Structure 1
Amino acid sequence: MSTNSQDQEIDLGQIGKGIKNFFNGIVNSIFDFIFFVKKKIVIIGGLFVIGVLAAFLLDPKVYNHEISVIPNFGSNEYLYKKIEQIDTKLREEDETFFKELGIKKYEDVVGIEIEAYPAIYNFVNNKEQANNFELIKLMAEDGNIDKIMKDEITSKNYYHHKISIKTKGMLKKEEFITPVLNYLNTNPYFEIQQKVYQKNLADKIVLNDSLIKQIDNLIVILSSNNASGTISISEKNSIPELVEKKDRLVSEKQYLLTNENIFDKIIKEESSIINIRDFKPLFLNNKIIFPLVLILLYLLSYFLFSTYKKQSARINS
């Protein structure tokens, strides 16, 4: 029994000594590194300055540009395909393509993409697509409504969309954005659709005006009968109905007049915000990354060189 106890005490002592040596090794390594940095502070400081200067010289200022657009006449899929085409041409550096668009400086454009504004309310209440609400209800039965709202097929059919452009340096609208919008608005099929929509819209406005005038005349006649005391019960009840019908026609006319302004383009530009400076988070900023990379490369090369010298001395001995 005494022998076993002594063996256990020896084992515990060795374990304790091993743990102590392990932590001492960590502490020694930390202080070795601190003294090494202190010894090489001039070199490390110089590398940090060189890295910051390199970031200023090599890292261009990146700007974002956002164009809010409304695709008309069912041109949503067409719009997405065209933006995808332009982005592909940028990556291919297709100079001929951009010259045809009237774009001289395309080299500084990093990329272009499009996404829908997540406006499910406008999608459901779109008068041009009356079945959207039923479609969403049907799709929601088999899945999560949030997932459906973000689904690419669904979002392409939203009302508002955002074209995002990233450039190296500032950009003038007429240098890239205006030619791109002109290109998007040049399509024979949708140009015919535009004329049909505009004709139907104008005819509907004229018809609404005619109906509103007829309702006004009827209200005047019925009011005159009321003043003379010869109005019947049915005529008296019809006056509020006529007023309500007129209100609906006036509201519809206002909606049509709004669309008349929107339908003047296949892809209607709603607003543009250009030259938004892209500031990266601190840990992704090249003014931090460049100096750290240089310092890490120096430390790694120093460690490898020291290891090589030690191993070389060991082999020679």
Structure 2
Amino acid sequence: MSTNAHDQEIDLGQIGRGIINFFNRMVNAFFDFLFFIKRKIIIIAILFIIGVVAAFAFDTKVYNHEVAVIPNFGSNEYLYKKIEQVDTKLREDDDVFFEALGIKNYKDIVEVKIEAYPAIYTFVNNKDSENNFELIKLMAEDGNIDKIMKDEITSKNYYHHKISIQTKGMYKKEEFIIPLLKYLNSNSYYEIQRKITQKNLADKLSLNDSLIVQIDKLIILLSSNNSSGTITISEKNSIPELIEKKDKLILENQYLLKNQAVVDTIIKEESSIINIRHYKPLLLNNKILFPVLLILCYFLFYSSSKIYKKQYLRISA
């Protein structure tokens, strides 16, 4: 019994001394590092200054540009493929392609990409796509609606999309965005669709305007109790019905006019925000990263040289 207690006291004593030795080594290492910094402060300061100067010399100001667009006439897939093509041409340094587009200094463009705004409610309530709600219900049978919203196939069919462009230095809208939109809108198939749609909208608006005029005449005629033999509906019920029909036609015309303004191009530009300065996180900022890397390299070189000397002396002895 006493032997076990004695062994436990020895084990506890060893553990205690081990903990104390560990903390002593930590304290010694900390002060060794502190005194090393003090001895080498001039070298470290010089390396820090060199790093900052190098960061300013090699640092390029990166800017983001965003173009909100609406693909019309079912051109969503076409839009995505075209943006993918432009980004590929950037990586291939295709001079001929960008000269044909009228884009200069394309080598300062880092990347071009596109993504959908996650507006599933607009997608479901789209007046021109009555089956979208049933489609979402069918796709979301597993209950993971968030996954469905972010799914590439689903998101491509959203109403609003964002083209993101990243450049080295500032860019004017005329230098890239306008030529890009012109290129996206140069498609003979969708151009025919655009013309047909515009004509259909204009014809429908004209017909609605004609119906509104006829309804106004009927309301005036019925209100004046000057019934014509051609009018067979009851005066009591006809005027409210005609007013309701006129209101519907006016609301439809408002929608058609709004839609007509949207479908005047294949890829409709909603808005553009250019030259948004891109700031890297603090630790990835070159003005911090370069000096820190230089100083760390110096520490690594110094430690390696000390280890080498010790090993050399050991082998020599």
Sort the TM-score into its range (normalised by shorter chain). over 0.9
Report how far residue 2 of structure 1 moved: 4.2
Query: How big is the alpha-carbon RMSD for the aligned residues of Structure 1 and Structure 2?
Result: 1.9
Where do 1:64-75 residues align within 5 Å? 64-75=64-75
Per-residue Cα deviation, 1:20-62 (whole angstroms, up to 9, x for no partner): 1111111111111111111111111111111111111111000
Report how far residue 89 of structure 1 moved: 0.7
Report how far residue 139 of structure 1 moved: 2.4
Match in the other structure for 1:31? 31
| Separation in 2, partners of 1:135, 1:266 | 25
Match in the other structure for 1:176? 176
Match in the other structure for 1:225? 225
Report how far residue 233 of structure 1 moved: 8.7
Q: Which stretch shifts more, 152-161 or 105-114?
A: 152-161
| Separation in 2, partners of 1:233, 1:98 | 67
Per the alignment, in what secondary structure is the counterpart of residue 289 of structure 2? Answer: helix
Where do 1:7-86 residues align within 5 Å? 7-86=7-86
Consecutive unaligned residues in structure 2, runs of 5 or more = none
Per the alignment, in what secondary structure is the counterpart of residue 270 of structure 2? Answer: strand
Report how far residue 134 of structure 1 moved: 2.3
Match in the other structure for 1:242? 242
Per-residue Cα deviation, 1:189-240 (whole angstroms, up to 9, x for no partner): 101111111111111111111111121122112212289xxx9993312222
| Separation in 2, partners of 1:28, 1:111 | 51
Where do 1:1-317 residues align within 5 Å? 1-225=1-225, 234-317=234-317
Aligned-partner residue type, residue 243 of structure 2: V
Per-residue Cα deviation, 1:278-310 (whole angstroms, up to 9, x for no partner): 112212211111111111111011101100001
State percent identity of aligned pairs: 73
Q: 1:232 to 1:177 in 2, by over 3 A?
A: closer
Aligned-partner residue type, residue 183 of structure 1: Y
| Separation in 2, partners of 1:106, 1:144 | 41
| Separation in 2, partners of 1:58, 1:104 | 23
Q: Which stretch shifts more, 201-210 or 139-148?
A: 139-148
Report how far residue 4 of structure 1 moved: 4.3
| Separation in 1, partners of 2:142, 2:167 | 42
Q: Which stretch shifts more, 212-221 or 127-136?
A: 127-136
Report how far residue 243 of structure 1 moved: 1.0
Report how far residue 146 of structure 1 moved: 2.4
Per the alignment, in what secondary structure is the counterpart of residue 265 of structure 1? Answer: coil
Aligned-partner residue type, residue 147 of structure 1: K
| Separation in 2, partners of 1:186, 1:241 | 46
Q: 1:95 to 1:206 in 2, by over 3 A?
A: same
Report how far residue 167 of structure 1 moved: 0.2
Report how far residue 266 of structure 1 moved: 0.5
| Separation in 2, partners of 1:103, 1:179 | 7
Per-residue Cα deviation, 1:88-116 (whole angstroms, up to 9, x for no partner): 11111111111111112100000001111
| Separation in 2, partners of 1:212, 1:286 | 67
Per the alignment, in what secondary structure is the counterpart of residue 104 of structure 1? Answer: coil
Per the alignment, in what secondary structure is the counterpart of residue 115 of structure 1? Answer: strand
Report how far residue 133 of structure 1 moved: 2.2
Q: 1:139 to 1:241 in 2, by over 3 A?
A: farther
Consecutive unaligned residues in structure 1, runs of 5 or more = none
Per the alignment, in what secondary structure is the counterpart of residue 162 of structure 1? Answer: strand
Q: 1:3 to 1:125 in 2, by over 3 A?
A: closer
Q: Which stretch shifts more, 147-156 or 21-30?
A: 147-156
| Separation in 1, partners of 2:121, 2:5 | 79
| Separation in 2, partners of 1:40, 1:108 | 41
Aligned-partner residue type, residue 214 of structure 1: Q
Report how far residue 3 of structure 1 moved: 4.3
Q: 1:117 to 1:3 in 2, by over 3 A?
A: closer
Q: Which stretch shifts more, 3-12 or 194-203?
A: 3-12
